[in-house]
Amino acid sequence: MSVAPSAPVVDCSGLDITETAPFNQPGKVIDLPSCSATSSAGTVTQVSQVPPSGSFFPVGITIVINIFQDSNGLQGSGTFTVTINLGDDVPPTITNCPTSPIVVYIPIGQMQGEATWIEPMATDLSGEVTVYQTHSPGDNFEVGTTAVTYNFYDTFNNMESCEFNVTITTVGIVCPPPVTVSYGDQLSYTMPQCTATHSTLLNTPSLCTPQNGMMAVEDVLGVCTCSIAPHITCTFQVTVTTSVQCPSAMTISPGDMLSYDIPQCMSGQGSSTASCSPSTGSPVTTDTSVTCSCPQDGSVQCSFQIFVGIGTGERGVG
C-alpha cells in the first residue's frame, strides 16, 4: 500500500519583526527574511511572499504569508508578522549649547564665583522636551573647574546632552608704590602684571590711568585694571610736586626800574604766584640776582640774573 505524498512543511518561527516608524510617518519600508521549508519530495521552492520584501508596511500588524512548492506540485505555507509602531527614535535637537569653558575671574581670596550663560534649548519631532540640568545661570561655583550638563528627553525617552565646563579663576594685581613727580614732568612707573590661577593666562598685562609718559599736572589716584578681568583693580597715589620756572637773565639800562613777568608756581593742587626779590618795579643800580619762591613750599625756588649796563648782553641764566 503506497503512502500519499505530503505538502511541504514551512517553518517561520522566530521571524516576527517589530519596527518603529519615524514620527508623523504612516509606516516604514521593511526588508523581510525568508522562511525555511522541507518536503518528502526533496526539492522545495518558495513561490511567493505576500507582501514581498521591501514593501511599505503601515503602522499596525501585518501578516506575511510565505508559500513553498515541492517537485510534486504540492504547496505549504507559513506566516510571520510585521509590527510597525508609531514612534520617534530621533533625539532632541539642541541649540545654544555654550562654548566650553566659561571662565569667570574673581579676586584672590574669594572661594566662589557666580557664572552666567545663555541656556541651551532643544526641539523634538514629538513636540515635547523635558530637561534635567546640574546647574543654572547665576549659580555659585567653587574655584577650579566644574562640569555642567543639560540632558534633554523627548516623550519616547530619546536623549541628547549639552555639556560644558565652568572655570572659576582667581586673579591678583599689585599696583606700583606711590609716585611723586614734579609738575610738567612725564609720569614713569612699573606697569603691574595680573596673575591668574586655573588658567593658561598666568601673567597678563594691565591697563592703568593715568598712563605712563603722560605729563603730570595734578594729584590723582591712579587705577590699574586687569585686561582679562576689568572688574579687578588696584590703586596707587600720584603726587605732583611744585615746580616754578623763572624768566631768562636780562639786561637793563642804568636808572631803569626792574620789570619782569612774575613766574607761576604750579603743583598738583593748582597754581599760585611766586614771591620774588627784588620785586618788579624796584630800582636796580648794580648787577643782581632775582630769587622767586613758592608760597605753598618755600623750598621750591628759582632765580635769574639781572645785568645793569649798556651792551653787556646776557651773561648767565639762573
Contact 142, 197 (CB under 8 A): no
Q: How confident is the model at residue 269 (pLDDT cuts 50, 70, 90)?
A: confident
Predicted model pTM: 0.57
Q: Which residues pair with 163 in a beta bridge?
A: 149
Contact 186, 165 (CB under 8 A): no
Task: For 121-164, write each residue's pLDDT tens digit.
Answer: 999 987 889 999 999 999 999 999 999 999 999 988 999 999 99
Contact 199, 143 (CB under 8 A): no
Q: Name 236's Cβ contacts closer than 8 Å, sequence gap at least 6.
A: 175, 176, 177, 178, 179, 189, 221, 222, 224
Task: For 78-111, write each residue's pLDDT tens digit.
Answer: 999 999 988 877 899 999 999 999 999 999 889 9
Cα dist. 296→267, 291, 299 in Å?
9, 16, 9
Reply yes or no on whether the pLDDT at 202 is more than 70. Answer: no
